Amino acid sequence: MNESQCTRKPRKLEHWKKIGFIIGLYDLLAVSASYFFALLLRHDFRFSLINPEYVETWERFTPIYAIACLVVFMLLGLYKSIWRFAGLNEFYRILIASLSMSLVHVAATLVFYIRMPISYYMIGALVQFVLLLAIRFSYRIYLSFFPKNGKRNKDRIMLIGAGSAGQMILRDILENREEGKVVCIIDDNTNKWGRYVDGVRVVGGRESILESVEKYHVNKIFIAIPSATMAQRRDVLSICNETGCEIKNLPGMYQLFSGQVTVKELKDVSIEDLLGRDPIKPDMDEVFRFINGKTVMVTGGGGSIGSELCRQIAGHSPRRLIIFDVYENNAYDIQLELREEHPELDLVVLIGSVRDSRRMYQVFDDYRPDIVYHAAAHKHVPLMEDSPCEAIKNNAIGTYKTAYAAMMHGCQRFVLISTDKAVNPTNIMGASKRLCEMIIQSFDAKIKAGKASEIPQIYMHRGLEYADKKGDGEIFRNIKTEFVAVRFGNVLGSNGSVVPIFKRQIEKGGPVTVTHPDIIRYFMTVPEAVSLVMLAGTYAKGGEIFVLDMGSPVKIDTLARNLIRLSGLKPDVDIKIEYTGLRPGEKLYEEKLMAEEGLKTTENKLIHIGCPIPFDTDRFLVELGELIEVAYRNDKQIRTAVEKIVPTYHPTYNGQRILPDPVVEEQKPAQEEKAAALAR
């Protein structure tokens, strides 16, 4: 055994034990002194007038009594409390401990010694209780005047909510004053108006917010209404947003139930709270019954939508979850998270590209997934405008190859994640996603017609065998894969979302850049998007395009201004807003459905089905084959080829102004000059 193993570090006494020891010594002195003080008070503080028998009784009994008090106080846990958080519970425990020991004092002196004056017992018990209480609550009183960091915050706070959560927040602020001073409280309960909570007046309901902000010079608003509905919370936030104050919000009921209601639990108000609708909360029981016991594959599983899909799927007992992604860092992150959260999960994480047909065939052949959520795609509009062939290769051709591999390996459901940018697309990303929708509609139509063998098997690798190895078509006769698409708008908080960009710009002091003052978008949260995608897997009959009723669209300019106000700043005063102009392929508005598409309802009133637009499937598959050749040649006329196959695609370069293919237009001057030279 080496020296380091033999040498033990001295055990350090915890800080709370040191404090407990000091308070214990104080208690010994306090309980002893309190009854001696009672004797002095009884005799007008003239020691010579005190009966010697009383003094002798006090001297003989007090040491025993003091030690007995110390033991009882220890049993009641009075030396283990965190006294900076002392409240009613601690008060009651001290009261019970002091009262019970005072009764013991009376009984013991009567039985074993002599009867003491009644005033001795009463005054002694009262002084004892006060002294025991004072030392324990002194720290809270001290912190209310002298914060731990030694600085008083001069912020003036309005607290919204005079319930349990609001009281806890107020108490926390009063304890340390690190956040400032609460100057007024707002609550819609008229019974509380004009009354006080810990010395702070409840001045009125939500209609008094704007007036009170001015009257009390408020610069911060804390919202503590965890039990309020989304609509109620949104109404309050909308009013607060007009004040220019910094706003913080207690997110939900969990903190109240767990007792974790402090200022630190308050979060910055998120822009999701100001969306013009309640969150979508579909009944997911059917979804999870459908997933239970099945092998589920998520392509693009490391992305914003893909990773949330994996989280929800992992918690509902799939037989196996396969995460497939080309970017290993994201895939690794979600792998670590899921293994920690669900150690029992049969998790497979694979790296590869959906553009690699041999890799896709290998994955489907090895794992035979029952359900595929296809989230892999290039989604950034301006970047895809600069690399249009890559958008077609990854989005359209990648979807085709993944769908074909799924069809040939017995997959039950294939759910494509699409976008509202696929509706009347003006950019190549939107057009590529419309191609994806047409691909899954073509697959569905051919399968239902019993003509799955007519779907071409495309690939770019020499040596790959055809699916129909025997050449008798038998493999195509029992295909039952159902293909559906899910279309929704912009996802708040996702990679590339405008909200994180705005927040970073605000943190840097601006400017906040908006492309156009009139640009609008539909928004939804990541959980909502994932719920819709998963519901599509259960509602599917084949060929549908599911559409979420996302409420009214939001002006990006309004969204940016709201974010600035929520940060306690003023738009165009503290943070400048700059309009940079529409980017290539960007349009002022997004549409959820094409004009030709109708809507059918589902079991959920906020989820609709767009009826497929009929098109010539055979012609489409032929033209798609031609488009593939164009894309893999990296042909600069790719937009023209896409416009031919997607009739609703009209390339734009500046908002709604329709332009021919910019690349083709670049070539025209050179071609005209060459033609003129030949003519000469």
**pLDDT tens across 330-355, in order?**
999 999 999 999 999 999 999 999 99
What pLDDT is recorded for position 283?
Answer: 67
Q: In what order do the strands lie in the sheet with 267-268?
A: 196-197, 200-204, 181-186, 156-160, 220-223, 246-249, 267-268
393-418: burial string, b at 16+ Cβ within 10 Å, e else: bbbbbbbbbbbbbbbbbebbbbbbbb
Contact between residue 407 and residue 385 where contact means Cβ atoms under 8 Å apart: no
Confidence of residue 431 (pLDDT cuts 50, 70, 90): very high
Nearest Cα to Cα of residue 24 among 74, 61, 86, 64: 74
Is the peptide bond between 10 and the residue preceding it cis, with omega within 30 degrees of 0?
Answer: no
E strands present in 435-560: 482-487, 490-492, 512-514, 520-521, 523-525, 545-548, 554-555
**pTM of model > 0.75:** no
User: Tokens at residue 141, please?
Assistant: 């009183």
Phi (first) and psi of residue 267, to 5 degrees: -115, 155
Confidence of residue 483 (pLDDT cuts 50, 70, 90): very high
3-state secondary structure of 73: helix
Q: Is it the case that residue 463 has pLDDT exceeding 60?
A: no
CA distance 13 to 10: 9
Of all residues in the chain, the percent with pLDDT exceeding 70 is 75
**Range of lowest pLDDT (277-286, 433-442, 641-650):** 277-286
Arithmetic mean of pLDDT, 358-382:
92
Nearest Cα to Cα of residue 331 among 353, 360, 301: 301
Burial class (CB in 10 A: 0-12, 13-18, 19+), 202: buried
Residue 156, beta-bridge partner list: 181
**pLDDT tens across 59-104, in order?**
788 888 888 888 877 787 776 665 555 556 667 777 878 788 888 8
What pLDDT is recorded for position 84?
Answer: 56
Arithmetic mean of pLDDT, 477-498:
77
CA distance 601 to 397: 31
Q: Is it the case that residue 504 has pLDDT exceeding 60?
A: yes
Q: Is the domain covering 285-492+522-551+595-617 a CATH 3.40.50.1970 domain?
A: no
**pLDDT tens across 143-188, in order?**
555 555 545 557 888 999 888 878 888 877 776 666 678 899 999 8
CATH code for 156-269?
3.40.50.720
What pLDDT is recorded for position 677?
Answer: 46
Please state whether beta strands 554-555 and 520-521 pair in parallel, antiparallel, or not at all (unpaired): antiparallel
How many residues appear in the chain?
680
What pLDDT is recorded for position 519?
Answer: 83
Q: Is it the case that residue 594 has pLDDT exceeding 60?
A: no
Q: Is it the case that residue 5 has pLDDT exceeding 60?
A: no
Residue 413, beta-bridge partner list: 371, 482
Phi (first) and psi of residue 323, to 5 degrees: -105, 125
CA distance 236 to 13: 50
**Number of C-alpha atoms within 13 angstroms, CB side, residue 178?**
12
**pLDDT tens across 575-585, in order?**
899 998 877 76
Q: Is it the case that residue 245 has pLDDT exceeding 90?
A: no
3-state helix/strand/coil string of 40-52: HHHCCCCHHHCCH
CA dihedral defined by 492, 495, 496, 498, rounded to 10 degrees?
Answer: 20
What pLDDT is recorded for position 6?
Answer: 46
Instruction: Please name the residues in contact with 373: beta carbons below 8 A apart, sequence gap of 6 or more.
Output: 296, 297, 298, 299, 306, 309, 415, 417, 533, 534, 537
Rg (CA), the chain: 36
What pLDDT is recorded for position 655?
Answer: 43
Instruction: Please name the residues in contact with 31: beta carbons below 8 A apart, sequence gap of 6 or more.
Output: 62, 65, 66, 69, 101, 128, 131, 132
Arithmetic mean of pLDDT, 411-427:
89
Of all residues in the chain, the percent with pLDDT exceeding 90 is 27
The domains spanning 156-269 and 285-492+522-551+595-617 adopt the same CATH topology: yes
Contact between residue 245 and residue 221 where contact means Cβ atoms under 8 Å apart: yes
Nearest Cα to Cα of residue 295 among 362, 364, 248, 246: 364
What is the maximum span of the chain, computed from C-alpha positions, in angstroms? 138
CA distance 204 to 194: 7
Arithmetic mean of pLDDT, 370-393:
92
Nearest Cα to Cα of residue 422 among 605, 627, 585, 619: 585
Locate the domains of the chain by residue range: 15-145, 156-269, 285-492+522-551+595-617
Phi (first) and psi of residue 314, to 5 degrees: -60, -30
E strands present in 352-431: 371-374, 413-417
Arithmetic mean of pLDDT, 514-531:
78
Q: Is it the case that residue 593 has pLDDT exceeding 60?
A: no
Nearest-10 crossing angle of helices 88-112, 118-145: 160
